[in-house]
Structure 1
């Protein structure tokens, strides 16, 4: 099973895109509920939104399989990341709380264990390998975990989500100095609202691989989808909106690179 696509870069930064995949296994495809068939909780178009990263020289890792098969940003033991409403390693409900699968069509445990081995594990092995290679070359490694979500999901959060949601695992996944530079970057502009460690503090990827004490720094960015696409089926790409938000996304990456480059 080809779990991901990867493009090698020349900079000490790895861009991870774990939720943009749309490939389904036969068992998941046949079992999806009517509401889930449009894959509503996908991080639609994120590889296209961040297409500038390859031109910068950033390494890019993007998942092929849908989170409805297995969620690459959840721990392998399926422990909850948040005390509030969330979805698990094998999502059985959509973000709005409706069932992911038709009655009696939820994939069984042996299949799910196979997907853990053949989809989840290769993606995480690749993250670890690339971060190790980057650190070997530069002495440090940076990870930017890119996500998106509908701007309004009442089951998960009240009201409308800020445009830019930075997550550093409560300050544990990168240095305070890097966090400060990233927030300054957001505060220097007024077009997009933002928050640090709000509803989304970082999922498993940020928490597992953000180790500033080992010169390995991670940031999750959860972007409200109304900034670059239509939020309802057919989930259409909006190039006019994407062009406005791309410069800030690029600036955040550049901020990580420039700040770390000044560290002893």
Structure 2
């Protein structure tokens, strides 16, 4: 299987999907323990959830599991959230803090996975950003994520439904964050937070340079709102998902409307 799928569109909006993949090469899978083989920290069904929500959106999707290597982590291995529990470039534990490997990867293996998986994903992302900017003069990278609603090892209490991250206002034009938040907050049955526990991963922080016409925003969704259960087999729940898709559709089209009506390529 190819490590990355790219679907090109004419819109200035790129949907990043770094954590929905479940492919694990057999040589790597043999080194996972039974818990690791469940891949329970996958962003389950994110491609299905976002399918068809925005006409012309470009999609860059990692097909490999985040347990192979995490495409939303700094390739240097630096922590996104120093002093807080989190998982690394190649996770050694689940989100619950439990070991996932029978044999953990050594430095040489990490290097091979950087070359074979992490590097190709970001090469594809960079190529699409450059293509979109060449056409529109700017690009908006919307990074699609989801996570279980309650993970005491990572955060207290129950996660809000919509977790919007723009790296503390640094990774995109404020109008983008504002319209996304307004769409989420208008849906009164859901809860929303900006730059809470999730402020944006390495993708958002690395690519988000609004002063250069490159805007990046992360959406972390609580999985309770579109899964039948947040335990295996993590089945998709169409009726729940459709209500969530209505909000996501509104948010993506609101970003698209901003892109049509104001210059996002100018120096800010």
Q: What's the TM-score once normalised by structure 1's chain length?
A: 0.96
Q: Distance in 1 between matches of 2:34 and 2:262?
A: 52
For residue 247 of structure 1, report the CA deviation from its aligned partner.
Answer: 0.9
1:1-264 equivalences in 2 (<5 Å): 2-53=2-53, 56-83=55-82, 84-102=84-102, 105-229=103-227, 230-264=229-263
Q: Distance in 1 between matches of 2:13 and 2:162?
A: 20
Runs of 4+ in 1 over 6 A off after TM superposition: none
Gaps of 5+ in 2: 264-268
Are 2:12 and 2:259, in contact at CA under 8 Å, matched by a contact in 1? no
For residue 182 of structure 1, report the CA deviation from its aligned partner.
Answer: 2.0
Are 1:178 and 1:260, in contact at CA under 8 Å, matched by a contact in 2? no
Could you say what the CA RMSD is over the residues aligned between the two structures, in angstroms?
Answer: 1.2
For residue 93 of structure 1, report the CA deviation from its aligned partner.
Answer: 0.6
Gaps of 5+ in 1: none
Q: Distance in 1 between matches of 2:175 and 2:68?
A: 38
Q: Distance in 2 between matches of 1:115 and 1:75?
A: 13
Q: Distance in 2 between matches of 1:135 and 1:22?
A: 30
Q: Distance in 2 between matches of 1:201 and 1:32?
A: 30
Q: State the secondary structure of the residue aligned to 2:98.
A: coil
Are 1:28 and 1:68, in contact at CA under 8 Å, matched by a contact in 2? no
Q: State the secondary structure of the residue aligned to 2:60.
A: strand
Q: Distance in 1 between matches of 2:216 and 2:247?
A: 18
Q: Distance in 2 between matches of 1:80 and 1:41?
A: 18
Residue 266 of structure 2 is matched in structure 1 by none
For residue 107 of structure 1, report the CA deviation from its aligned partner.
Answer: 2.2
Q: Distance in 1 between matches of 2:34 and 2:48?
A: 27
Q: Distance in 2 between matches of 1:187 and 1:69?
A: 35
Q: What's the TM-score once normalised by structure 2's chain length?
A: 0.94
Q: State the secondary structure of the residue aligned to 2:118.
A: helix
For residue 224 of structure 1, report the CA deviation from its aligned partner.
Answer: 0.4
Are 2:172 and 2:216, in contact at CA under 8 Å, matched by a contact in 1? yes
For residue 38 of structure 1, report the CA deviation from its aligned partner.
Answer: 1.0
